[in-house]
Amino acid sequence: MNFQNTLEYAIKLDEQDPLKDFQGKFFAPKHNGKDAIYFCGNSLGLQPVTARQYINDQMSNWQDLAIDGFFAGDDPWLGYHKQLTGTLAGIVGAKSEEITIMNSLTVNLHLLLVSFYKPTKKRFKILMEGGAFPSDQYALASQVRFHGYDPKQAIIEQFPRTGEHTLRTEDILKTIADNTDELALVLFGGINYYTGQCFDMPAITRATHDIGAIAGFDLAHAAGNVVLKLHDWDVDFACWCSYKYMNSGPGGISGAFVNEKHFSDNSLNRFAGWWGHREDRRFLMPPVFEADGGAAGWQVSTSPIMLLTLHKAALDIFEQAGNIEPLRKKSELLTAYLEFIINEVNKANGDELFKIITPQNKQDRGCQLSIICKQNAKATFNYLTDNGVIGDWREPNVIRISPVPLYNSFRQVFEFGQILSEGVKL
So where are the chain's domains? 7-48+324-424, 80-320
Spatial separation of the C-alpha atoms in residues 217 and 161, rounded to whole Å:
22
Q: In terms of DSSP H, where are the helices of 66-133? A: 82-92, 105-116
H helix or E strand, kind and range, residue 233: helix 230-233
**Identical topology for domains 7-48+324-424 and 80-320:** no
H helix or E strand, kind and range, residue 207: helix 201-210
**pLDDT given at position 245:** 98
Spatial separation of the C-alpha atoms in residues 179 and 211, rounded to whole Å:
9
Q: Give the pLDDT confidence of 243-293 residue by residue, as tens digits.
A: 999 999 999 999 999 999 999 998 999 999 999 999 999 989 999 999 999
**pLDDT given at position 381:** 97
pTM: 0.96
**pLDDT given at position 425:** 82
Asked if 288 contacts 303 with a C-beta cutoff of 8 angstroms, the reply is no
Second-level CATH architecture of 80-320: 3-Layer(aba) Sandwich (3.40)
Q: What is the mean pLDDT of each run of 10 residues along the chain (426 residues)?
A: 96 98 98 97 98 97 96 91 95 98 98 98 97 96 98 98 98 98 98 98 98 98 98 98 98 98 94 93 91 95 96 98 97 98 96 96 97 95 97 97 98 98 88
**pLDDT given at position 1:** 82
**pLDDT given at position 283:** 87
Fold designation for 7-48+324-424? Aspartate Aminotransferase, domain 1 (3.90.1150)
Spatial separation of the C-alpha atoms in residues 276 and 293, rounded to whole Å:
9
- Residues paired with 291 in a beta bridge: 277
Spatial separation of the C-alpha atoms in residues 20 and 401, rounded to whole Å:
20
Name which of 104, 76, 373 is nearest 241 in CA terms: 104
Q: In terms of DSSP H, where are the helices of 362-409? A: 377-386
Name which of 388, 289, 425 is nearest 38 in CA terms: 388
Spatial separation of the C-alpha atoms in residues 200 and 198, rounded to whole Å:
7
Q: Give the pLDDT confidence of 355-389 residue by residue, as tens digits.
A: 999 999 999 999 999 999 999 999 999 999 999 99
